[in-house]
């Protein structure tokens, strides 16, 4: 087994591998091809066999929770499991250019967590995160946080968190109720870097998504057209930023994916980055890269100089 670097996830105290696993790519809906049960079993067991001990999922990720329950319930003690709440608990068809409507009422928060427990075939979640960055007002007006804390008292979850982005993330940190935040961050999307630092100063765990920029830097640009319309402008802006910035002298034999992932892993405020993949070869490549750890300090410093901290995209999603 590769020895992946680890980090303590803020006040939760969970000792997580810095490379986590995002299960959204297993959703088997929209433009994500559905893996067979056998393929999913091979992939998910490889996640745990390779020392990844933090897995992120959501009721929004189609079949992902079901596949995790089917293949990893027997190995529940070997990893930390995070899901989301506020998502629709029934399958909801929405046009490709819209987000599914989310509902942070107590009833839907509770129903979502209980559904996740059934699908994941477990009696507790290590972490439940409010999905889609609801505002403080949206959360407090419906007593949603109190409901999550009740579920915690009932032993159904251990820690609470929020998937937060601008403009609400500063507020989420200031509320001092969340053990953990999950936020997008990469070399080409450094918009949340200061807030990640604020979170870390407050002993709030920091989970990164988008840490390899959803691979749109290395895949064919035309693939961006397959994503929902509301994601496309941000992807194009980040791709353009990548193409405009000179990096050849920094790569020093690394692939673009290695450079991207190790940049994310170099951020001292990040505890785990949940890279998503449905491809076992990509998984193993990511594990190998993560085992190499942070970029050399001089390369990291130079990359920080060349890529702006706050790209003026205003397109955080
Ligand atoms: N809280 C939220 O609102 C939210 C939103 C989005 C995602 N997430 C979570 O974050 C996780 C990560 O998703 P993300 O959207 O942020 O994307 P990401 O991890 O930056 O990138 C995922 C993409 O990178 C590709 N990839 C991964 N490793 C690769 C490699 N070695 N070589 C080439 N391509 C590679 C994957 O394709 P292949 O399958 O082909 O490898 C996938 O398309 C999700 O699974 C989910 O758990 C949360």
Per residue in 106-132, pLDDT (tens digit) is: 999 999 999 999 999 999 999 999 999
Q: Is the pLDDT of residue 218 over 90?
A: no
Would you place residue 254 in the very low, low, confident or very high pLDDT band (cuts 50, 70, 90)? very high
DSSP state of 254: -
Cα-Cα end-to-end distance for the chain: 35
Residue of the nearest CA to atom 43 in ligand 1?
A: 214
Round to whole Å and give the CA distance between 108 and 104: 6
Q: What is the pTM of this model?
A: 0.96
Residue of the nearest CA to atom 29 in ligand 1?
A: 282
Q: Is the pLDDT of residue 7 over 70?
A: yes
Q: State which of 61, 172, 276, 317 you would mutate to test the pocket of ligand 1, scoring each by most atoms of that ligand within 8 A of its C-beta.
A: 276
Is 20 within 8 Å of 275 (Cβ atoms)?
yes
Bridge partner list, 16: 7
Q: Mean pLDDT for the chain? A: 93
Which SS3 state, helix, strand or coil, does residue 5 take? Answer: coil
How far does the centroid of ligand 1 lie from the alpha carbon of residue 286, in Å?
A: 11
Q: What ligand 1 atom has the least distance to the C-alpha of 286?
A: 31
How far does the centroid of ligand 1 lie from the alpha carbon of residue 146, in Å?
A: 31
How far does the centroid of ligand 1 lie from the alpha carbon of residue 159, in Å?
A: 24
Which SS3 state, helix, strand or coil, does residue 36 take? Answer: coil
User: What's the mean pLDDT in 274-294?
Assistant: 97
- Pocket of ligand 1 contains residue 274 by CB under 6 Å: yes
How far does the centroid of ligand 1 lie from the alpha carbon of residue 123, in Å?
A: 27
- Pocket of ligand 1 contains residue 213 by CB under 6 Å: yes
Write the DSSP assignment of 192-249 as a string of letters: THHHHHHHHHTT-EEEEESTTGGGTTTS-GGGGGGS-TTTHHHHHHHHHHHHHS--HH
Point out the least confidently predicted range of 51-65, 85-99, 110-124, 169-183. 85-99
Would you place residue 314 in the very low, low, confident or very high pLDDT band (cuts 50, 70, 90)? very low
In the chain, the domains with their CATH numbers are 6-306 (3.20.20.100)
Write the DSSP assignment of 125-157 as a string of letters: EEEEEESS---HHHHHHTTHHHHHHHHHHTTSE
Can you give the C-alpha Rg of the chain in angstroms? 18
Round to whole Å and give the CA distance between 74 and 45: 11
Cα separations in angstroms, 290 against 68, 80, 156: 23, 18, 31
Q: Is the pLDDT of residue 317 over 60?
A: no
Residue of the nearest CA to atom 13 in ligand 1?
A: 276
H helix count then E strand count, the chain: 12, 10
Q: State which of 23, 86, 275 you would mutate to test the pocket of ligand 1, scoring each by most atoms of that ligand within 8 A of its C-beta.
A: 275
For 22-33, the pLDDT digits (tens) are 999 999 976 677
User: What's the mean pLDDT in 82-103?
Assistant: 84
Take residue 301 and report the two structure tokens written for it.
């410093």
How far does the centroid of ligand 1 lie from the alpha carbon of residue 75, in Å?
A: 23
How far does the centroid of ligand 1 lie from the alpha carbon of residue 107, in Å?
A: 30
**Dihedral angle sign, alpha carbons of residues 226, 221, 186, 260:** positive
Q: What percent of the chain has pLDDT over 90?
A: 83
Burial (CB count within 10 angstroms: exposed 0-12, middle 13-18, buried 19+), residue 88: middle
How far does the centroid of ligand 1 lie from the alpha carbon of residue 140, in Å?
A: 31
Cα separations in angstroms, 179 against 11, 47, 161, 252: 6, 25, 6, 38
Q: State which of 23, 25, 181, 213 you would mutate to test the pocket of ligand 1, scoring each by most atoms of that ligand within 8 A of its C-beta.
A: 25
Pairing of strands 272-276, 19-22: parallel
How far does the centroid of ligand 1 lie from the alpha carbon of residue 154, in Å?
A: 32
Bridge partner list, 209: 184
């Amino acid at each position: 087994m590769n020895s992946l670097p680890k980090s303590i996830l803020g006040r939760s105290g969970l000792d997580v591998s810095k490379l986590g696993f995002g299960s959204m790519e297993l959703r088997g809906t929209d433009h994500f091809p559905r893996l067979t049960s056998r393929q999913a079993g091979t992939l998910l067991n490889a996640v745990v066999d390779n020392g990844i001990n933090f897995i992120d999922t959501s009721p929004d990720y189609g079949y992902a929770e079901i596949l995790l329950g089917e293949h990893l319930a027997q190995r529940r003690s070997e990893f930390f499991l995070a899901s989301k709440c506020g998502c629709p608990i029934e399958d909801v068809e929405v046009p490709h250019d819209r987000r599914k409507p989310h509902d942070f009422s107590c009833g839907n928060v509770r129903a979502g967590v209980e559904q996740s427990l059934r699908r994941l075939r477990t009696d507790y979640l290590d972490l439940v995160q409010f999905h889609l960055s609801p505002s403080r007002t949206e959360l407090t007006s419906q007593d949603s946080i109190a409901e999550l804390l009740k579920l915690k008292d009932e032993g159904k979850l251990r820690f609470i968190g929020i998937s937060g982005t601008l403009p609400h993330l500063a507020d989420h940190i200031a509320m001092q109720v969340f053990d953990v935040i999950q936020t997008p961050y990469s070399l080409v999307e450094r918009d949340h870097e200061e807030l990640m630092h604020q979170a870390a100063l407050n002993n709030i765990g920091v989970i990164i998504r988008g840490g390899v920029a959803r691979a749109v830097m290395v895949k064919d640009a035309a693939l961006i057209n397959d994503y929902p319309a509301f994601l496309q402008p941000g992807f194009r802006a980040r791709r353009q930023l990548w193409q405009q910035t000179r990096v050849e002298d920094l790569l020093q034999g690394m692939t673009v994916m290695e450079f991207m992932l190790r940049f994310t892993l170099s951020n001292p405020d990040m505890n785990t980055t949940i890279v998503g993949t449905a491809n076992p070869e990509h998984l193993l490549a990511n594990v190998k890269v993560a085992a190499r750890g942070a970029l050399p300090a001089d390369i990291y410093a130079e990359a920080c100089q060349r890529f702006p901290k706050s790209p003026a995209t205003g397109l955080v999603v």
